[in-house]
Structure 1
Amino acid sequence: MAKINFYLRDKEADTATPILMFVSYNGERLTKYPTGETIEPLFWDSKTQRAKQTKKFPTYPEFNSRLSNIKTVAENILRQYMNDNDQQPPTVETYRALLNQSFNVAPKKGIVKPLDLFGFMDSYLTEYETRIFEKTGRPITKTTLRVYKQAFRVLKEFKDKEYKNREFSFAQIDYHFYTQFQQYLVKENFATNTIGKHIRTLKTFFLEAHERGLMPHFSPKKFKSISEPADAIYLNEREISTLFELDLNQNPRLEKVRDLFLVGCWTGLRFSDFTRIKKENMDGEFIEMETQKTGEVVVIPIHWQVEAILKRYEGKTPNSLPKPISNQKMNDYLKELGRIAGFEETVSETMTKGGIRQTVNYPKSELITTHTARRSFATNQYLAGFPATSIMKITGHRTEKAFMKYIKITPREHANKLRELWKQNTPSKTEPFRIAN
């Protein structure tokens, strides 16, 4: 097990003395390493191995954040090396060389330079791969990590194109950066919601740097995450029944995808959840499981179509459901299924891309994805009059605002609901029509 401690080079010094980092593994020292930080022993707490929280040393928050960041990087380097080398720790020379590379040690001086913006973001991503989050008690999901890495890549591309050989540092992350980055994404023909996603993700990086004292003047209020309502389809219950009734005996590939998709349509689970339902999650007439993304425990009744699917695969798989495939492959096959089912009505998608509002028409089959299943469940149950708060308990949505984004009812469907309501309240033809005096 790795152990990292910080000690003063001379704890009896009358002036500032260097702080050294000692790294050991299973009781064996790996290195004694200069942090590049100095402090007067008067302000050092040997128990916490950090600066004392005192007004006489007003920069202690930033100082302690830098030490914590150095420790995190040292831990991540060791873990990554051991993951890549069958859990064997590095030699003293190898570990020190890796530290030098990561900390950008100045030649011949042995002084650790502070992490720059990209260095911090890179180490932050490495840390996030195994970090346990307080809200869920679990590491970050692969999907979220992929979103973070995409935003990091886009920021690097922005730097290479707009800044080229000029400096790009923490100090430059201000409102001017925000507007310049946003304009760059518009120029690169990104959609409005994609721009908002990247800004929101980068804001997460910057807030963490702010907490660690690397960006003390960062103002998160100025970084607005722009968005616009997104067009998205759902399948109504008639279309879902059409899929269920398709004869796919001669095409087991599409049959398995169809059946798995229908499980999503009647449970409201995300792809990451309906593809990992286990036998122990099914108890009689209900499915009960903890969702991967939020950690919410949801209980869902088993629909008769799902029950028929379970009988079809009983004894063939451990959970009596089709074996899952990748999200990307399933999305491709779903479009093929949609064409076979005859879902060819024209659907218009309107979005702002590259700063221009544009509408594109597609056959409905081309817009079906695994997430359509979850959206279809929420919309169909809402249309059926099931209370929104009860649907949210099944889908795991925490706020009505987030839930309502899933409700994809067209203007005509809204009008039909109102017409049906009026019909219910229309007086019978046998009843006399009276006007109140």
Structure 2
Amino acid sequence: MTTKFVLRAQKMDAAGRCPVYLMAYFDGLRLVHSTGEKCKPADWNADRQKFRASYPLAEEANMLLTRLTAEALAWWRKLRAAGETPTLEGLKAALRPAPAPEVAVVKQESVTVWYDEYRRSMKARGYAFETLRHNLVTRNWMACFEKWAGVLLDPTTYNMALHDRLMVYLREERKLAPNSVATAIKDLKTFLRWLQDERGVAVGIEISKLVIKSFDTPKLYLTAAELDRIATTMLPANLVPTRDIFLFCCYTGLRYSDVSGLHRGHLHEWDGGRLLRLMMSKTRAGVSIYLTAAASAILDKYNDPERLKLLPVHPNQVMNKYLKRVAKLAGLTGAADLVSTESGGIVRAAVPKCELVTMHTARHTFATQSLLRGMPVEVLQKVLGHKKVQTTLIYAKIIEDFQHQTMRRIWDGQAGETDSAGARSNQICDVAPAVA
């Protein structure tokens, strides 16, 4: 095989340039193929079959001719070894530059775009408001991280290095409590599983590797004596409704979100008394709570035919602010142990108990006082609207009085006068049997 480069003057264009062709000869067979280069006759050296130095980028153009010669020769050797006949189509295929591999341009998408769709999906499926709320908080934390770190939290490229940076941001930059971080990561894992299982997105990390430890924080509750002090303390008129609504929650176990929405439709007569039937806003569990004399008295105190709601509840932040003043005036100023974590260690601080009282303290108080009075855990579970009894058992673990009484009864064989030290004879709550 021999090759030759020629300038085809008969195909000169309007600019006076002629195409350069490769001619390959195979045992009397001639194949002609364009090199793709053009030049004026003055820029072509016919004797040396190459471009003159006057041709722009002559060195690169001559390197092209050398490469074409080598590729044509390599192609011919393969054909000769296989005993095949050279064709023009084969020569063109051999000399055609291999297309550069297409690099897929992956458009990174902020996690917030997917998260907004995720929340719309959750809302359409009827998830509780509280679940939607803390998922919105998690979404906003991630958006703030993207601005802080200058990177996108794209689920398809999410990896452990990026996850660790997110953890540093939540813990050290935002100063979130351990359980707040744990909730955020739990939400993130659920969101990534939704992307993977329901939207077919190839998540860039093994979700099971996203491990986070929650911190078992002490739950604040009031003793029966402390409840009596709150109930009997003289207060300014503006604090009385807050005190009464707090006590009502102590007698019923209702969360703030549930007591704030109580209306006359929740109130029912039962066996000469009254009870509440409602669906818990957080768990969507239906509950039936018997109203003791103390709880009924509070409802009667605020009975107003002109108002649909049963109680004049302020916004939660206002209630908690007023409650701290109520607790302080009631003398709940003894030191409480405030436990937190910092840099992997436990930090303890003595804080006046009144500073820690919130509306949710009432729910903890109801649970612990009910257990102290002998309410079975299974019954308490129904009143609180817990889906799992394990959640209710948390309260049984924190009642030291209950532990001490049980040990004394088992080891000393006596109940003792203080066997109901945390309780009073008039029980805080009762549970009505289910009515068909």
Whether TM-score is above 0.5 comes out as yes
Aligned-residue offset at 1:210:
1.5
Query: How far off its partner does 1:196 sit?
Result: 0.6
Structure 2 counterpart of 1:197 = 183
The 5 Å alignment of 1:230-241 reads 230-241=217-228
C-alpha contact (below 8 Å) 1:335/1:368 kept by paired residues: yes
Q: Does 1:172 align with 2:157?
A: yes
Which is worse superposed, 314-323 or 297-306?
314-323
Q: 1 CA distance for matches of 2:415 and 2:248?
A: 39
Match of 1:123 among 81, 93, 116: 116
- Indicate the residue corresponding to 1:79 in structure 2: none
Q: Scaled by the length of structure 1, what TM-score is found?
A: 0.63
1:310 aligns to 2:299 (yes or no): yes
The amino acid across from 1:237 in the alignment is: A
CA distance in 2, matches of 1:316, 1:238: 34
Mapped pair 1:399 → 2:399? no
Q: 1:426 to 1:291 in 2, by over 3 A?
A: closer
Q: Which residue of 1 aligns with 2:255?
A: 270
**For residues 151 and 353 of structure 1, do their structure 2 counterparts lie closer, same or farther at Cα, with a shift above 3 Å needed?**
farther
CA distance in 1, matches of 2:112, 2:415: 69
Distance 1:374 1:231 in 2: 14
Match for 1:373 among 362, 371, 378? 362
Counterparts of 1:135-174 in structure 2, within 5 Å, are 138-141=126-129, 143-162=130-149, 164=150, 166=151, 168-174=153-159
Deviations 1:82-140 (A, max 9, x none): xxxxxxxxxxxxxxxxxxxxxxxxxxxxxxx9671335235326625x8233xxxx354
Distance 1:355 1:159 in 2: 25
Q: What is the aligned length? A: 306
Greater mean deviation of Cα atoms: 303-312 or 399-408: 399-408
> 3-state SS of the aligned residue for 2:242?
helix
Cα deviation 1:270-291 (Å, max 9, x = unaligned): 1111222222212122111111
Kindly indicate whether residue 357 of structure 2 is the aligned counterpart of residue 364 of structure 1: no
Written as runs of structure 1 = structure 2, the 5 A alignment for 1:198-277 is 198-211=184-197, 212-248=199-235, 250-251=236-237, 253-277=238-262
Q: Report the Cα offset of residue 381 of structure 1.
A: 0.8
- Conserved 8 A contact 1:378-1:406: yes
Decide whether the 8 Å contact of 1:335 with 1:366 is kept in 2: yes
Q: Does 1:387 align with 2:364?
A: no
Contact 2:111/2:152, CA 8 A, preserved across alignment: no
Q: Sequence identity, in percent? A: 25
Contact 1:196 1:225 in 2 (8 A): yes
Shift of 1:267: 1.0
Give the superposition deviation at 1:340: 0.9
The amino acid across from 1:351 in the alignment is S
Note closer, same or farther for the CA distance 1:310–1:156 as it changes in structure 2 (3 Å cut): closer
CA-to-aligned-CA distance 1:236-269 (integer Å, 9 cap, x gap):
2222222222334x51x21111111111111111
1:68-87 map, 5 Å: none
Q: 1:337 aligns with which of 326, 331, 335?
A: 326
Q: Secondary structure at the match of 2:211?
A: coil
Give the direction of change, closer, same or farther, for the CA distance of 1:126–1:194 in structure 2 (3 Å limit).
Answer: closer
Kept in 1, the 8 Å contact 2:251–2:295? The answer is yes
After superposition, what is the alpha-carbon deviation per residue over 1:302-359, rounded to whole angstroms, capped at 9, x for unaligned?
A: 0111111122122366357431111111011110110011111100121213433211
Q: Normalised by the size of structure 2, how large is the TM-score?
A: 0.63
SS at match of 1:360: strand
Q: C-alpha displacement at 1:425, in angstroms?
A: 4.2
Q: 1:383 to 1:119 in 2, by over 3 A?
A: closer
- Change beyond 3 A, Cα 1:119–1:387: closer
Verify the 8 A CA contact 1:334 1:368 in the aligned structure 2: yes
Q: After TM superposition, give the deviation of residue 411 of structure 1 in Å.
A: 4.1
Q: AA paired with 1:268?
A: G
Q: Distance in 2 between matches of 1:186 and 1:381?
A: 37
AA paired with 1:131? K
In 2: Cα distance, 1:274 partner to 1:297 partner:
14
Which stretch has the larger CA shift, 234-243 or 256-265?
234-243
| Distance verdict in 2 for CA 1:410–1:169, change over 3 Å | same
Decide whether the 8 Å contact of 2:118 with 2:191 is kept in 1: no
1: CA distance, partners of 2:246 / 2:363:
9
Aligned-partner SS, 1:171: coil
Q: State which structure, 1 or 2, has the greater radius of gyration over its C-alpha atoms.
A: 2
Asked if structure 2 preserves the Cα contact closer than 8 Å seen for 1:207 and 1:220, the reply is: yes
- Unpaired runs of 5+ residues, structure 1, are 1-112, 428-437
